[in-house]
Structures are given as C-alpha cells and as structure tokens.
Structure 1
Amino acid sequence: MEPSGIIFAALDCDAAVIEDWNRWYDLEHTPPNVMLEGVMLSNRYVATPELHAARQTADGSPFGGGRASFITVYTLTGDPQIAFDDMSTLRERLIDTGRMAFPEDQKAVREGDCFQSVDAFVSSPTKLVPKDVPFVGHTGVVIRHRRGGDEESLARAARLVDLDFVHGVWSLTSRLREGLDMDMVFVEGDAAEAARTMRAVEPADGATEVLVDAPYDRINPMHYPWADSIRNSELPKTVAL
C-alpha cells in the first residue's frame, strides 16, 4: 500500500472546552475513522497564539481571524474519494447511534476537503523515498494552500527539503475544488520560525496565489499543555465568532 492522498479538516472548539473536546476527539472520534478501509494514519495539529501570529491568509479565508486552530489529516491509500465518501457516511451512522455526542454548538468545521497526491520530496540526509514522506517523523507542519503556479510551486517544494528543519514536502491537489492545491511541509522544531524562514528564502512567485500559509504543532494525543495559552489569548472564545 502506498499513500494516495488525504482527508483534511480545519476545526475549532470553544475556548472553555479545549481539553474536553480534544479528549473526545482522541478517544471517540478518531478511532472509527481510522478503521475505515483506505485510511492509513491520522495526525492532528494545533495552532497556538504564537503560530497564529506567524500565519498568512488571503482575505475571507476560513483560516483568518484567529479561526482554524486545529487541523486533522487522515492519510489515505487507494482512491481518496472512496475514503472521503465512506467517512461522510460513517458520520451519519455515528450520529444515529449517539456517538457524535459532543455538543454541536461548541465545535465547528471551518473547512473540509479531499486531496490527491501529486508529488513528494524528501530530505536527502534521511535516505527516504517519496512515498515515505507522509510518515516521516516531525514535530509540526506548515500548510500552504495555493492556486496557479503549479510548476513553480513544485520546484519550490523540491528546494525546501534542502533546509535543515524540513524532513519532507507533500504536494497535493483537491478532489473537490478544482485548481486548489496544497503543500504540506513536515518540519522539526519551531514551526512559526520555519514558516517565516521558508517565506524569506523561498518567497511566493508571481504565478502563484497563496491562500493560506500556516504553521501548526503536532498534537500528542491526550496531552494538551497549550490549552491555557489559547484560552487566555485574544483568539476567539467561541466558535460563533
């Protein structure tokens, strides 16, 4: 089996229930989704206030205004659309059986999509091959949604792996929104500094419209030491904002 794409979700929860929502997500929401045919792996990520400060977004982006503090990435094999459709069907079954019990008014999906793999690039010191990239060790990711400039962006991705803190880059294209592409940069260390450094050494070219460029830290399940920093910050306190 080789990785073929991802299911991607950008999410938020009310500040008052950060630990409760994340615990529910780790204990109850993730397991049935990972058990679906075609799902290989699940990773979740968080943007602390410092990471939000390092984020760049286009006007009107669901990642703007302090939103999308969490993302979930399900790594897939086979036809990504099949897993995406199965996950949508599973959600309805979980609702019917009372297994989506976390209050709907305290959580929100800001964006959801199904992406198919286009190419992957590896850091040469690791001796990886491209199909290994989605599984490489990392402490964070920088997510870059873009339109246009495909050749330029793939060339940029190939150069990014020369940076010491980059262990791999996975480039994908949306199955649901024509012309929308994404680069996932797997990084080690300070994700905010990684995002700023990559913009400085590999700025966007004139052919590419960058919709979001956002660093996230990888979440260690059942371990949420960053909860208070989000709760006590100027980020929105409720998903209604």
Structure 2
Amino acid sequence: MIPSTPETATRAFFSFPQVTDPARHRAYNAWHQLDHRPENLALPGVVHGDRWVRTPACERLGSYPDLALAGSQYMAMYWFAEPTADSILAWKDLGDRAIHQGRRPELAWTERPMTRMFRPVQGYVAPRALVTLAALPFRPNRGVHVEVSRVETSLHPDVADLSQFEHETQVPDLLARDGVAGVWTFRSAPSRSNPDGPVVRIRLTYLEADPVEFTRALAVDPLPAPPAALASTATPLLTGPLATITPWEWDWFDEPVAAATESVAGA
C-alpha cells in the first residue's frame, strides 16, 4: 500500500472556531492542543492536522465580508487518508466518544460557523522551500494567509476562467514573494442533495515570514487583479493572516480580558 500524504489525500476538513467566552481562550487552547489534536493525529486515517490563530494583530489586517466568519479566532484543518469514508468515520467516532468521556469542555463556549469537508485541488511549493509537495504541510511555518470565497456553481464557465487566472497568474506571483513556502487550493465537497450548488473555495498560503508583515507587504503590492469580467465570479468570505500556535503561548487575548475586568472593578 502506498502511504497517504497531503499530496495524495482526497479529503481535507476545515473549521473556523469562535470562542464565545473571552475568558476561555487559554482553556480552549489547552484542551485542543494537549488533548483533542493529539488524539486526532493518532488516528491511522488522519494524515496530518494543523491549526492557526487570528490574533488581534492578524484581525486588524484581515477582511471578513461574511459576518458568520467574522468572529472566528481560529482555523483548523485535517487531511484524511484513503479510504476516506473509513478515515472520516473513525475521526467522527473519536469526537463522539470524547463527549461521553467528558473530554469536550469547549462545547458550551465555542461556535463553529463553518465546518466542512473539502477536496484538495492543487498544491505548489516555492523553490526556496526545498521540500516535496507532500512534505509542505509538515514543514514548520510561522502562519498562513487564507482566502475563502464562494461561487454559486462550479459549472459556470467564469469559474473555470477565474481558476485558470488564479493558478497561472496569482499563485506564481505568491510563490515568488519573500516568505512564501507554498500554496494549496481546495474546494468544498459537493452536497449530495445539491451537487451543482454553491462551492466554497480556499487558498492557503504557507508562510515562513511573519504573517502580519507578509499581509502588510501584500497590501502595498497586491496580487494581480482578475480581469474585470471575472471580478464578481467569486464572493469573498474571509481573507487575511493567521499565526502558528505555539504550545503554552496562548496569551493573545489576555489583555482585552484583563482590561475589561479592570474596567468593571473601577466602575
């Protein structure tokens, strides 16, 4: 059997969690990074998994036209090995079993405005990264730049034209920029009830540069814009940087909580 890698996996899961209680960020990260994620990665059918945080500095530089995603502070993803139906079933069973083991404390104070399965479309590695495409997600990164959009149907000719422009023009531009290790693109898995319906698209740029500094540079020197005729083909949902999460360094949201506590005490 050929071992599965992100290059050959045919399913990826994306989630955009929001911690609704500002005082629970440390508890959420301790649970996710020290319990939930290791248990998921131990499953034979999970090829790889990672997660990133939209720090206050990242949030200030992002664009969040979709109000449901605007409050999400994190992004998580997992890659699944073939046969994906079995891998995903085992992964879901683990999540359900954890509930009955009392190991899902976050359910009371998190929301997930988008959680869905995606199909990897195409990946690229910048020459400077010196790794194979299969190794790209495993390569250490300082964060990612993510672009999430929606098209009403993949069958419209403009979607193919826009995708061609992105892959032939925008992605090479990204790969040539300092600090970019590689790019992966994804599309949401078709719905059984509406296989030709709306599709969510994700472009994930892996960064060895600071994601905030990279996004600032991107604002000064933006990617080539698509032709005017294609500009409205995809509806932006979320664009911006997210930072890599380092274990036990979960203090990004501590200051606002402390400030709010002091304000109440002084009232």
TM category (shorter chain) comes to: 0.7 to 0.9
Q: Give the deviation of 1:140 after TM superposition.
A: 0.4
1:117 Cα deviation from its structure 2 partner: 1.4
Identity of paired residues, percent? 21
Does the 8 Å CA contact 1:134/1:170 hold for their aligned counterparts? no
Q: What is the match of residue 239 of structure 1?
A: none
Alignment of 1:1-241 (within 5 A): 1-3=4-6, 4=9, 5-13=11-19, 14-58=21-65, 60-64=66-70, 67-80=71-84, 82-100=86-104, 102-146=105-149, 147=151, 148=159, 149-155=162-168, 156-176=170-190, 178-198=198-218, 200-205=221-226, 206=231, 207-229=233-255, 231=257
Letter in structure 1 aligned against 2:68: P
User: Residues of 2 paired with 1:142 and 1:233: CA distance?
Assistant: 29
The offset of 1:22, in angstroms, is: 1.0
Which ranges in structure 2 are unaligned for 5 or more consecutive residues? Answer: 152-158, 192-197, 261-267
Q: CA deviation at 1:104?
A: 2.6
Structure 2 CA distance, aligned partners of 1:188 and 1:99? Answer: 34
Q: Which amino acid aligns with 2:244?
A: R
Partner SS, residue 57 of structure 1: coil
- Structure 1 pair 41–55 and aligned structure 2 pair: CA distance change class (3 A): same
Specify the code of the residue in structure 2 equivalent to 1:192.
V
Deviation at 1:162, TM superposition (A): 0.5
Q: Deviations over 1:109-166 (max 9, x none)?
A: 2211112211111111223332232222210011111234221222212321100111
Q: Is the 8 A contact 1:48 1:230 kept in 2?
A: no
- State the superposition RMSD in angstroms: 2.4
TM-score of the aligned structures, taking structure 2 as reference length: 0.77
Structure with greater strand share of residues: 1
Q: Is the 8 A contact 2:26 2:251 kept in 1?
A: no
**Cα deviation code 1:4-31 (max 9, x no counterpart):** 2421111122211211121111222112
For the 8 Å contact 1:140–1:187, the answer to whether it is kept is: yes
CA shift in 2, pair 1:104/1:157, >3 Å: same
**Larger Rg, first or second structure (1 or 2):** 2
Length-normalised TM-score, structure 1: 0.84
Q: Unpaired runs of 5+ in structure 1?
A: 235-241
Call closer, same or farther: CA 1:87–1:130 in 2, change over 3 Å.
same
